[in-house]
A and B are shown apart, each in its own frame.
Chain A
Amino acid sequence: MKDYAMIIDYKYCTGCHACEVTCQNEHNFNENEWGIKLTEHGPTKFESGWVWNYVPVPSKLCDLCVEKTSDGSPVPCVLHCLGQCMQVVPVKELADILPALGEEVAVFIP
């Protein structure tokens, strides 16, 4: 298993596509190769209000940019995310980080 995980605090994901485009540029993927791709729930009526959620899901091509960022530089998708709702963290720290984020949070180990 990988040592790092990606946390998406998806209550703040606005569906801006910055992660998708950054990832393709960073890795020179061709147009059908996605390191991360948005999924969408809604917009639709839900309980007494609305649901309109996006969750970007990393694919197997996602290496969490571990090597590229070994010098301490930011992970490109995390840096550009307009909602600032992404983190790449060591798997062993997940239990400490997650409680503070509350609900509507996803963790990926791609």
Chain B
Amino acid sequence: MGERIIECSDGRIKMRTCAWSPPGDHPVGCGMYLTVEDGKVVKVEGDPQHPITNGRLCVRCLTLPEYMYNEKRIIHPMYRDPKDRGKDVWEEISWDQALDIIVEKWTAIKDKWGRESIVTFQGTGREPALYHSSLTYAVLGSPNAVFPMSGDSCYGPRCSVADFLLGAGYPEMDYAQFLEGRYDDPQYELPKYIILWGKDPLFSNPDGFFGHSLIDLMKRGSKFITIDPRITWISARSEYALQLRPGTDAALGIGMLQVIINEGLYDSEFVEKWTFGFEELKQRVNEYTLEEIEEITTVAKEDIIAVARIYAQNSPSAIMWGLAVDTNSNGTQVGHTIMSLIAITGNFDIPGGNTLSVPASFMGKWRYECANLLEPEIRKKMIGLERYPGFQAAHVVAHPDLVLDALETGDPYELKMAWFFGSNMLANTSNAQPKRWYEALRKMEFNVGQDLFMTPTAMALYDVFLPVATFAEHEGVVLPHFGRNTHMVSAMNKCVDVGECKSDLEICFWIGKRLNPDAWPWETIADFFTQQIQPVMGITFEDLQDEGWHMNAFEYRKYEKGLLRPDGAQGFNTPTGLIELESSLYEDWGEDPLPYFAENILTPFSRPDLAEEFPLIMTTGGRETTSFHSEHRQIKSLRRLMPDPLVQINPETAIQYGISNGDWVAIENPFGRAIEKALITEIIKPGIIHAQHGWWYPEQDGEEPNLFGVWKSTINSLIPHKAIGKLGFGSPYKNVMCKIYKVDSLDS
């Protein structure tokens, strides 16, 4: 292991750190050294000693100095009178002034409308994902922490399904992430096949998984099967690439289960000993014929059979389930079929299969425990608790769609103050129908936001702007999978200061110590982290900083060893103590206990009356390496690699609509409209288009009504509000009907 700080002969120093955010990413903790000269980061170098990333870095870390020292970055707190929202008339203030303003407004609002009138929003996957609910519950005293993406369609649904059916955290593929010897560790076995299901990890943001580990496994001989409407780089190298119609994943899962069960290819010993409801599942999946499933999914019956056989007959193999499971109102059932496939083939928690863990640990546990600090009558007011009890059973947050309803109607009560954490929500995935959110939030009495740049959301809505430190400017702990299956923790080590920026956690401390000091007893950030990691790992935060990273203890087949249940008994932490192929919880929450296929509400099949006018299916959300959702649009080195928002269209479809490569194209449906630039490509089937998300234009006029052009390419405007599943999860971000036509420019 290398040194934490290296003094170079030229007087510069190199400081080791591991990345989370900002700039945005998920908690992977890529290892690097930052070279510091005269108090500034001047160079970024990967750390070859890092056990997962081995020195590899993507372009977002490689351009970190350009992000940190960007001319557009906000580095001092600012205030703007609420009546001037949308105007670029900010006044620089001190942190003390900001605190006084916040305390005064918070006091007045809670006294007049109650603490529940405060609502807080988080973006996706960044560091404040761990701290935003804590600030809400343990500082502001409100029960309404929310991730405002309709149906909470990112990660929460998958984690909840895993918790309901397995009583476990996120079942990540085993890529030897827990083992000291990594791929060469004697305990490890290579997955024979890896199924990438609605997931493109090379360039997506997979919650703690380092995407290019797939290349490590490919070099060592793992084979691939991809289930994706688009051909990806991995599908081009896969044994099977099943290009299903977007949103029909549950039908495909049912078909695969049927083949494995009816052909007797399942692990009967595992099924008998460790699962509940096998006969009921068998009966359910036989209610569909493979011919019907072929018609629904557009995947040939022969391919469904072949892939099911390959997966069942090549143990160990792993399934990686992606965001497509969440962005689907039928997604709870998609997850159910995938968990059932892994279970009946005996691939859980074996070397080379899918690993298991307890559902919450470290700060990932603490953030929800903070809800216990709420006054009981306040906690009962959490929006969505009565309507969607299952939604809140595994992750303690308010329901996003019902929060928008409350903002618009005042039912169940008025919301008056909002706080935004790492979320440019008007531009990005954090909402369906962004203009409705905008109209509702601009009427709030008081808004506070934490960010690094003047985003459309900040320009439109904030009254107080708190500037946030990048990962190079603060102490922190990277927690892969947010504590829901964490192979290691790593230290984010502060290397420099920029302006007066503070980390999201420092901001929580800063205001927490004034408003609710009992909940924030730690003297320092380091003390807080030590209390989080020491009981599990036996080391302090300072030890972690010196070590760089620390692997979590791990054992395979935990269900045999009593390691998944708090009572130490064998089995799984579910009501039956077994993996529930038939859920014993769902009926109480108004959901079918067995998986089924249901068409999403806005497809040419569910709405044949609209199919003539809107004959195409739009899918969204595919990632590019040059940005994290709406971030990085102002970073010139990255923007020139991806200058415009792209919509991918099959050549046949393009000819049909008279569209050429590079044309501006309007994408429209009854809910909304967006303009993007055509990329004609065979990777998508005729009749389906893929549109990029998260676009705004930092180079354009920021004031209203333009707001950096945020409404021009707002693909989320086409997504309906509250088109979600029975448990409250899943919105059709990847499968809505639309039409396309050529336009003259982005401003058409």
Contact = CB atoms under 8 A, between A and B. Distances in A.
Interface of A: 12, 14-18, 21-22, 24-25, 31, 42-45, 49-52, 74, 76, 79-85
Interface string B38-66: 00000111101000001111110011000
Given A21-B62, A82-B56, A82-B212, A50 B46 contact: no
A49 B243 CA distance: 13
B460 interface: no
Contacts of B625: 16-17
B132 to A, nearest CB: 30
A44 B683 CA distance: 7
Given A12-B218, A17-B626, A31-B640, A80 B62 contact: yes
A21 B215 contact: no
Nearest to A52: B236
B682 A74 contact: no
B488 interface: no
Interface of B: 43-46, 48, 54-59, 62-63, 202-203, 211-212, 215-216, 218-219, 231, 233, 235-237, 241, 625-626, 636-637, 640-641, 681-683
Contacts of B45: 76, 79
20 contacts: A12-B218, A14-B203, A14-B215, A16-B202, A17-B625, A18-B57, A21-B63, A25-B43, A42-B236, A43-B682, A50-B231, A50-B236, A50-B241, A52-B231, A52-B237, A79-B48, A82-B58, A82-B211, A82-B215, A84-B56
B62 A18 contact: yes
A59 to B, nearest CB: 17
Main secondary structure of the interface of A (DSSP, over half): mixed
Contacts of A22: 62
B58 A18 contact: yes
Main secondary structure of the interface of B (DSSP, over half): loop
Contacts of A44: 682
Contacts of A52: 231, 233, 236-237
A109 B57 CA distance: 25
A42 B48 CA distance: 32
A28 to B, nearest CB: 11
Given A14-B202, A43-B231, A74 B48 contact: yes
A84 B236 CA distance: 19
Given A17-B59, A22-B62, A12 B219 contact: yes
A84 B59 contact: no
Contacts of B58: 16, 18, 82
Please list the 5 inter-chain residue pairs (A to B) with the smallest Cβ-Cβ separation, ordered nearest first: A52-B236, A50-B236, A82-B212, A79-B55, A21-B59
Contact of B682 (A14, A18, A45, A79): A45
Contacts of B212: 14, 16, 82-84
Q: Which of B48, B681, B683 has the most CB of A within 10 A?
A: B683
A43 B236 contact: yes
B681 A43 contact: yes
Given A15-B233, A25-B43, A81 B56 contact: yes
Contact of B215 (A43, A74, A83): A83
Nearest to A15: B233
Given A43-B233, A79-B55, 9 more contacts: A14-B203, A14-B215, A25-B63, A44-B682, A50-B231, A52-B236, A79-B46, A82-B211, A84-B54
A80 B56 contact: yes
Contacts of B56: 18, 79-82, 84
B48 A12 contact: no
B236 A17 contact: no
Contacts of B235: 50
A27 to B, nearest CB: 12
B85 to A, nearest CB: 36
Nearest to B625: A16
